[in-house]
Amino acid sequence: VEALVDCPNATEAYTYRIPDGMTVEPGDILSVPFGAQQMGALAVRRLTRLPEDLSAEDVRPVEAVVGRGFFPPGYWDLLQRVATEYCTPLMQVVRTALPPGLLRRSQRRIRLCDSAPSTPEDTLSTGAQKLLAVLRQSATADYTWTYLKRQSPRANQGLRELLQGGWVESYLEPPKAVRPKQRQAVTLTGAPPLNDLSPRQREVLDVLRRQGGELWLQDLLQLCHTSSSVVQGLEKKGSVTIHRREVLRREMTHATADQPQALTPDQAKVLEAIAPLRHYQTLLLHGVTGSGKTEVYLQAIAPLLQEGKSALVLVPEIGLTPQLTDRVRARFGDRVLVYHSALSEGERYDTWRQMLTPQPFVVIGTRSAIFAPLHNLGLIVLDEEHDGSFKQDQPAPCYHARTVAQWRAQITDCPLLLGSATPALESWHNAQSADSEPSNTLYLSLPQRVHARPQPPIQVVDMREEFRQGNRSIFSRSLQDALTELRDRRQQGLLFIHRRGHSSFVSCRACGEAVDCPHCDISLTYHQPTADATPMLRCHYCGHAETVPKLCPTCQSPYLKPFGSGTQRVVEEVERHFPDLRCIRFDSDTTRTKGAHRALLQRFAQGDAELLVGTQMLTKGIDLPQVTLVGVIAADGLLHLSDYRAGERAFQVLLQVAGRAGRGDEPGRVVLQTYSPAHAVVQAVKRQQYDRFAHEELHQRQLGSYPPYCRLVLIRLSSPDAEAVRRTATAIADQLRAYEAWQVLGPAPAAIARVARRFRWQILLKFPLEIAPHAVDWEELVRSHCPKQVSLTLDIDPLNFW
């Protein structure tokens, strides 16, 4: 059998012998010998004879089949397609798709010997003594070697001494499979009650009978304030049985029951289009904020469950959408499974196992949930489909869940529903029917809010003017008025800040212009690698660099200033100007811990504060009817981000935050402060005209030849050795420039040039649409030119440019 071994360095398949009496099918999870250890592996295909370059004695036998039946029909094709299109080894994709812990490996462990050592303790070196001390701390006196090495500085030498002296032994622990969690259940046998029961036993039986004849042992003991010996006594007498039963670890539900709501005529029309679909079809549901997209999803899913089909609902970040999750739970109860990477290993494993059962489920999860092994998939929904977090850019494969969803829908022949108030331009573009061919995406729209509530008016405030008028506060007079009004009317509001670490731009407080790259139509990024370094302006795309000018290149004013304003500062300002308005800070600092997000939102919903001050997080999943004011402190941080999607993203974020206002009966109001009131994005947001914005932006993309009119491939290089990355990046770029099929931009250092002690460079390639990036021999052209010390990743259709 050919198997993929779960070893970071071994990406291609290895051949193993199937021992007599064992059956192995493709897709089975195996345990195989690999060097000195045992590794998790995945059976790929059966071979009928030995590969040419292997002799029979080279081939070792499969140790065991650890799991089977993990892949629904077509799943294998999906993984294969992801590997091919994203130019990643299949094993890498398998690791992303499967829950961690499914593939296990053996571990080197060290434990204290029982027998007496042959060397006296005081002759041992300090390294050896330290190891002994660590081992003796624990009751089992048994640790993994990796852990011990971390604990003690001279571990290698120390271990040798201890092994020779007979103090410790070293052994390879075979991999243990993650096991379903077991609990003990106690069941009444129905045997006639015996007379020789003790009073305590009688009491226990009584409780058990009253509770329906079956309880978890733990719960029973707690109810009766007794110990397990009593229950064991009952078992001996034949009155109850105690047996281990699998329990599935899953998140607690916060759900209250929820009923389907009456649909608006628009919603009904949309649902009518979705409901009859039973085959592959992509739908774009473009519904303004507050138009009730969620209700449409829920009512589209309900009949599928009746038919025994499952649905997959993908959301950008599960933590940010507790309201949606709660609502799906409330509607479908225990049919709902939540799957995302923040689940514990056990929870993921259990959820995965449950999905393999043939019952229908609604799986709600983040991007990795696109790989949920559902058997009978009837619908895939991507909520907020424009959101960038559907794209993975950290470990390969750098996949986009929307793209993978497309493939999955195709393979399983089910509809794919993309929902957003501000669709990604790609999705919008796909939904437009070109002259040459009809669109493959069906366009559905919800242009009105539910209950005919109006969209909140958006007031744009020119902060240059405020500055000229002598207002140095971060709040314009309009926003101050709005806050005063908010206080007087006892309403609630959101203050939105865009803050993005140190990668910001430089703009002029007098004229509002940002400093642009002379070679590209893009703002330069402000770089200051260390506090004492000279700040520089750099271009991500072409590598151009210059020092920060003393005067504004446009108006010669000296008020050039790197942008960046934090939530903290805004909260302080509110406290200073509006002491009776209470704030809750809502950003990555305050929502770091599990559940903090939900807790803060709950406090705000209860009225513990009038203002929620936060970053990007405010744009998602907040649906609070009492919010009437949204203030955008400075839109500029968003406007001048230095990549081709900056405009699109800014538009989406601004329109999304604006959409948080006026969702209840009270009308909403939005104050958008900016130094660039004339910026096309600001104007488009003000008008709240998605269509026109999309049209114009696409036109720009076409002129500049950017996606969706071309495809991008980003080559990311990093190394602890600054010179080595630079050299490699240059060499690879030169190599690539020899071809006319694509256009090479760069090499250029990454925006954040050094992260975790690694220096980072990148090369951007533009492919015409006729050429598929995965048709290129990257191994030959790129990877083989990359020395060991430099790591290289390919990002196909990148969204983030480091």
Distance, CA of 460 to CA of 555 (rounded, Å): 23
The residue among 342, 424, 415 whose CA lies nearest residue 390 is: 424
**What does the block give as tokens for 514?**
């940002």
User: Nearer Cβ to DNA, position 126 or 556?
Assistant: 126
User: Nearer Cβ to DNA, position 226 or 791?
Assistant: 791
Residue 154 touches DNA, criterion: CB under 7 A: yes
**What does the block give as tokens for 284?**
């774009």
The residue among 197, 206, 183, 207 whose CA lies nearest residue 235 is: 197
646-658 and 680-687 helices cross at what angle (nearest 10)? 30
With CB under 7 A, what is the number of residues at the site for DNA?
32
- Name the 3-class secondary structure at 247: strand
Minimum CB distance to DNA, residue 45 (Å): 13
Residue 531 touches DNA, criterion: CB under 7 A: no
- Name the 3-class secondary structure at 709: coil
Residues within window 688-717 making contact with DNA, judged by CB under 7 A: none
Interface region with DNA, contact rule CB under 7 A, candidates 4-12, 67-75, 306-314, 547-555: 4-12
Q: 215 Cβ partners below 8 Å, 6+ apart? A: 185, 186, 208, 223
Among 65, 101, 107, 624, binds DNA (CB under 7 A): 107
Residue 59 touches DNA, criterion: CB under 7 A: yes
User: Nearer Cβ to DNA, position 80 or 789?
Assistant: 789
Helix (H) or strand (E) holding 799: none
Q: What is the DSSP string of 60-127?
A: PBP-EEEE-----TTHHHHHHHHHHHTT--HHHHHHHHSPTTSS---EEEEEE-SSPPSS-GGGS-HH
Among 46, 54, 193, 535, binds DNA (CB under 7 A): 54
Interface region with DNA, contact rule CB under 7 A, candidates 28-36, 182-190, 516-524, 550-558: 28-36
Distance, CA of 175 to CA of 610 (rounded, Å): 54
Residue 35 touches DNA, criterion: CB under 7 A: yes
Q: Residue written as tokens 């003991």?
A: 221
Distance, CA of 419 to CA of 315 (rounded, Å): 10
Among 24, 26, 37, 180, binds DNA (CB under 7 A): 37
Residue 756 touches DNA, criterion: CB under 7 A: no
Residue 789 touches DNA, criterion: CB under 7 A: yes
Residue 146 touches DNA, criterion: CB under 7 A: yes
- Name the 3-class secondary structure at 613: strand
Interface region with DNA, contact rule CB under 7 A, candidates 55-63, 200-208, 323-331, 678-686: 55-63
Distance, CA of 729 to CA of 338 (rounded, Å): 42
Interface region with DNA, contact rule CB under 7 A, candidates 35-43, 193-201, 404-412, 557-565: 35-43
Residue 8 touches DNA, criterion: CB under 7 A: yes
Cis bond leading into 397, ω under 30°?
A: yes
Minimum CB distance to DNA, residue 58 (Å): 5
Residue 15 touches DNA, criterion: CB under 7 A: yes
User: Nearer Cβ to DNA, position 145 or 280?
Assistant: 145
Helix (H) or strand (E) holding 713: strand 711-719
Q: How far is CA 707 from CA 439, 542, 566, 697, in A?
A: 17, 18, 32, 11
The number of helix segments (H) and strand segments (E) in the chain equals 24, 33
Minimum CB distance to DNA, residue 204 (Å): 46
Phi/psi for 165 (5° steps) reads -75, -5
User: Nearer Cβ to DNA, position 106 or 291?
Assistant: 106
Residue 147 touches DNA, criterion: CB under 7 A: no
Could you tell me if 140 and 111 are in contact, meaning their C-beta atoms sit under 8 angstroms apart?
yes
Residue 10 touches DNA, criterion: CB under 7 A: yes
Count the neighbouring beta carbons within 10 Å of the beta carbon of residue 481: 12
* Strand 441-446 to 377-383 pairing: unpaired
Q: What is the three-state SS of 495-561?
A: EECCCCCCCECEEECCCCCECECCCCCCECEEECCCCCCCCEEECCCCCCEEECCCCCCCCCCCCEE
User: Nearer Cβ to DNA, position 16 or 352?
Assistant: 16
Angle, alpha carbons 333-334-340 (nearest 5°): 100
User: Nearer Cβ to DNA, position 6 or 587?
Assistant: 6
Minimum CB distance to DNA, residue 87 (Å): 20
Interface region with DNA, contact rule CB under 7 A, candidates 152-160, 309-317, 542-550, 653-661: 152-160
Residue 199 touches DNA, criterion: CB under 7 A: no
User: Nearer Cβ to DNA, position 202 or 726?
Assistant: 726
Among 60, 243, 502, 594, binds DNA (CB under 7 A): 60
* Strand 492-496 to 583-586 pairing: unpaired
Interface region with DNA, contact rule CB under 7 A, candidates 114-122, 149-157, 232-240, 529-537: 149-157
Residue 7 touches DNA, criterion: CB under 7 A: yes
Interface region with DNA, contact rule CB under 7 A, candidates 8-16, 210-218, 287-295, 334-342: 8-16
User: Nearer Cβ to DNA, position 36 or 531?
Assistant: 36
Residue 145 touches DNA, criterion: CB under 7 A: yes
Dihedral in degrees, nearest 10, Cα atoms 51, 52, 56, 62: -20
Among 25, 58, 206, 546, binds DNA (CB under 7 A): 58
Question: 673: exposed, middle or buried (C-beta count within 10 Å: 0-12, 13-18, 19+)?
Answer: buried
Residue 111 touches DNA, criterion: CB under 7 A: no
User: Nearer Cβ to DNA, position 225 or 788?
Assistant: 788
Minimum CB distance to DNA, residue 13 (Å): 7
Minimum CB distance to DNA, residue 466 (Å): 55
User: Nearer Cβ to DNA, position 107 or 480?
Assistant: 107
Interface region with DNA, contact rule CB under 7 A, candidates 102-110, 232-240, 307-315, 738-746: 102-110
Minimum CB distance to DNA, residue 258 (Å): 45
Q: What is the DSSP letter of 189?
A: -
User: Nearer Cβ to DNA, position 81 or 109?
Assistant: 109
Minimum CB distance to DNA, residue 143 (Å): 12
Minimum CB distance to DNA, residue 32 (Å): 7
User: Nearer Cβ to DNA, position 143 or 407?
Assistant: 143
Residue 34 touches DNA, criterion: CB under 7 A: yes
Minimum CB distance to DNA, residue 65 (Å): 16
Interface region with DNA, contact rule CB under 7 A, candidates 29-37, 376-384, 429-437, 603-611: 29-37
Residue 788 touches DNA, criterion: CB under 7 A: yes
Could you tell me if 427 and 340 are in contact, meaning their C-beta atoms sit under 8 angstroms apart?
no
Residue 33 touches DNA, criterion: CB under 7 A: yes
User: Nearer Cβ to DNA, position 47 or 536?
Assistant: 47
Distance, CA of 82 to CA of 595 (rounded, Å): 33
Among 157, 376, 389, 730, binds DNA (CB under 7 A): 157
Q: How far is CA 207 from CA 197, 210, 235, 368, 592, in A?
A: 14, 5, 15, 45, 43
Q: How far is CA 305 from CA 105, 259, 361, 362, in A?
A: 38, 16, 7, 8
Minimum CB distance to DNA, residue 402 (Å): 30
The residue among 548, 536, 504, 542 whose CA lies nearest residue 520 is: 542
Phi/psi for 259 (5° steps) reads -105, 150
User: Nearer Cβ to DNA, position 10 or 624?
Assistant: 10
User: Nearer Cβ to DNA, position 156 or 484?
Assistant: 156
Task: Provide the binding-site residues for DNA, judged by CB under 7 A.
Answer: 7-10, 14-17, 33-37, 51, 54, 58-60, 105-108, 144-146, 154, 156-157, 160, 172, 788-789
